[in-house]
């Protein structure tokens, strides 16, 4: 990295000790920015990088609630309002035991550039809690969500900060939180949360959007080499909302998804995943991937010592969580002839794995570009709420597809113009950064 950028990076590390994921996300962006600061030395003079790495506001709060036995539980809630240069803070809430400030800051930082790439008027933020939804009853989840919102509501607003879901937060949790927000504020403020139910202000396609968008983006990458998904073997990691709808879009485009996973293991199904069964197990029963194997004769559980990345494929879509695809996994994928890796999750590929994939000329798309379809469709949900309207599935999906194709084009062309043809990391980081930096420059020192 350029010594001036390295110095700023070291100052970010020193100011944010112990937040490894945040450091990783910042480093990955900085590694792309050397040619930008050469063209725009004013960004160094105005401390643009230091300013972008410092969240505008960070909120940490107590979330007390009672479990079904009547015992008191205490969790920690977070909302990092990172950057509002392009619009109200926008980004999901993650409920997972691994959540701490460093995870929320990495996600919030990524969200700034992702949201910028969508071309829609949304700033970057992220929040969540170390609450573990697994094994909790529906009423425990409700009480937790109500307590969480009882503090968070005062920081939100359709022009201020608009949360949505992420890992552990889906339609059910958004419902409980919207209900509590509405009750406390006495306002039916639809645009304050996205990922809402269709009956009460949600947008069609929002559920599918992150997975669909990732596959549309990967398809654009394939097209640059004169190929498509037709006949391709694919694995998705994970089996949550992103993975399920990525798999669905792959199947629609003629590819075969032969594997998926959860934290308990991975499944190989050479006949191609039965999506109805997977949806039943994951969305209705909230079960495990092992339940799928029991009910599907063509499927088998992967080796306990192995990983989903051992399965030979043309396209790999990491759709589970951060740092799930490491250097060894990347080397195996390369050896088996992978052509495209596109991130459906946020930062699932470790930095050394990204370098290995790029050195091997595998097309690699970072999450901030490839998985932007989720938040883009959230912005479409906000548009519908603002105009008190709702669009049909077909039109909304057309808008999503056009947005993903546009993000691909912007990343591809930005990489070309900075002498890094085919490098989507460089393209996404520079294009995402430039828009935010221009807006911040225009606003003066605020």
- Which among 211, 276, 216 is positioned nearest to 240, based on CA atoms? 211
For tokens 């994970």, the residue is 238
Q: List the x/- string, 333-352, binding to ligand GLU by CB under 6 A.
A: -------------x------
Selected from 53, 164, 216, 347, the binder of ligand GLU by CB under 6 A is 164
Of 23-31, 59-67, 85-93, 176-184, which part binds ligand GLU (CB under 6 A)?
85-93
Of 86-94, 173-181, 258-266, 409-417, which part binds ligand GLU (CB under 6 A)?
86-94
126 in active site: yes
What is the distance between the alpha carbons of residues 429 and 109, in angstroms, rounded to a whole number? 12
Of 222-230, 285-293, 355-363, 370-378, which part binds ligand GLU (CB under 6 A)?
370-378
Q: List the x/- string, 165-184, binding to ligand GLU by CB under 6 A.
A: -x------------------
Selected from 128, 374, 427, 432, the binder of ligand GLU by CB under 6 A is 374
What is the distance between the alpha carbons of residues 422 and 118, in angstroms, rounded to a whole number? 19
324 sits near ligand GLU (criterion: CB under 6 A): no
CB distance 267 to 289 below 8 Å: yes
What is the distance between the alpha carbons of residues 408 and 180, in angstroms, rounded to a whole number? 38
We find the least distance from the C-beta atom of residue 326 to ligand GLU, in angstroms, to be: 21
Name the residue nearer to ligand GLU (CB basis): 73 or 160: 160
Name the residue nearer to ligand GLU (CB basis): 75 or 346: 346
CA 303 remoteness from chain centre: 28
* 250: helix, strand or coil: helix
What is the distance between the alpha carbons of residues 33 and 35, in angstroms, rounded to a whole number? 6
We find the least distance from the C-beta atom of residue 166 to ligand GLU, in angstroms, to be: 4
Name the residue nearer to ligand GLU (CB basis): 117 or 281: 117
Q: Is 116 exposed, middle or buried (0-12, 13-18, 19+ CB in 10 A)?
A: buried
CB distance 375 to 111 below 8 Å: yes
90 sits near ligand GLU (criterion: CB under 6 A): yes
Name the residue nearer to ligand GLU (CB basis): 194 or 329: 194
- Which among 17, 25, 66 is positioned nearest to 323, based on CA atoms? 25
We find the least distance from the C-beta atom of residue 200 to ligand GLU, in angstroms, to be: 17
Which residues 6+ apart lie within 8 Å of 81 measured at CB? 55, 56, 57, 58, 59, 89, 108, 125, 155, 161
The set of catalytic residues is: 126
Interface positions with ligand GLU (CB under 6 A): 90-92, 164, 166, 194, 346, 374-375, 378
């Amino acid at each position: 990295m350029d010594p001036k950028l390295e110095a700023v990076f070291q100052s970010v590390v020193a100011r944010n000790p112990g937040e490894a994921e945040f450091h990783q996300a910042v480093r990955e962006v900085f590694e792309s920015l050397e040619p930008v600061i050469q063209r725009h030395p004013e960004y160094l003079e105005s401390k643009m990088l230091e300013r972008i790495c410092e969240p505008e506001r960070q909120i940490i709060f107590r979330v007390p609630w009672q479990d079904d036995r009547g015992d008191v539980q205490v969790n920690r809630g977070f909302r990092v309002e990172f950057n509002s240069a392009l619009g109200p803070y926008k980004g999901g809430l993650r409920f997972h035991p691994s959540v701490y400030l460093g995870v929320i800051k990495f996600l919030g930082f990524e969200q700034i550039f992702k949201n910028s790439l969508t071309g829609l008027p949304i700033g970057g933020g992220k929040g969540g809690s170390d609450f573990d939804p697994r094994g909790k009853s529906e009423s425990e989840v409700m009480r937790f969500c109500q307590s969480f919102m009882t503090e968070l509501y005062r920081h939100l607003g359709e022009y201020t900060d608009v949360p949505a879901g992420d890992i552990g937060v889906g339609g059910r949790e958004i419902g409980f939180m919207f209900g509590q927000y509405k009750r406390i504020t006495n306002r039916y403020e639809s645009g304050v949360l996205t990922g809402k139910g269709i009956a009460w202000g949600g947008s069609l396609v929002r559920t599918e959007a992150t997975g669909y968008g990732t596959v549309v983006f990967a398809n654009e990458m394939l097209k640059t080499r004169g190929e498509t998904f037709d006949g391709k073997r694919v694995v998705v990691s994970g089996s949550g909302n992103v993975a399920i709808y990525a798999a669905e879009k792959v199947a629609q485009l003629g590819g075969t998804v032969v594997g998926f996973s959860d934290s308990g293991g991975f499944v190989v199904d050479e006949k191609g995943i039965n999506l109805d069964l997977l949806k039943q197990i994951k969305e209705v029963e909230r079960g495990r991937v092992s339940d799928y194997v029991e009910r599907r004769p063509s499927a088998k559980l992967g080796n306990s010592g192995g990983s989903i990345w051992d399965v030979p494929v043309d396209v790999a879509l990491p759709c589970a969580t951060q740092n799930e695809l490491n250097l060894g996994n990347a080397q195996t994928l390369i050896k088996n002839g992978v052509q495209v890796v596109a991130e459906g999750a946020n930062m699932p590929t470790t930095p050394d794995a990204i370098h290995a994939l790029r050195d091997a000329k595998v097309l690699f798309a970072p999450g901030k570009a490839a998985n932007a379809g989720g938040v883009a469709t959230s912005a479409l949900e906000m548009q519908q709420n603002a105009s008190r309207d709702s669009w049909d599935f077909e039109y909304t999906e057309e808008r999503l597809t056009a947005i993903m194709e546009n993000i691909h084009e912007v990343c591809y062309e930005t990489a070309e113009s900075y002498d890094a043809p085919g490098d989507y990391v460089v393209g996404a980081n520079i294009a995402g950064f430039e828009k935010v930096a221009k807006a911040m420059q225009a606003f003066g020192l605020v």
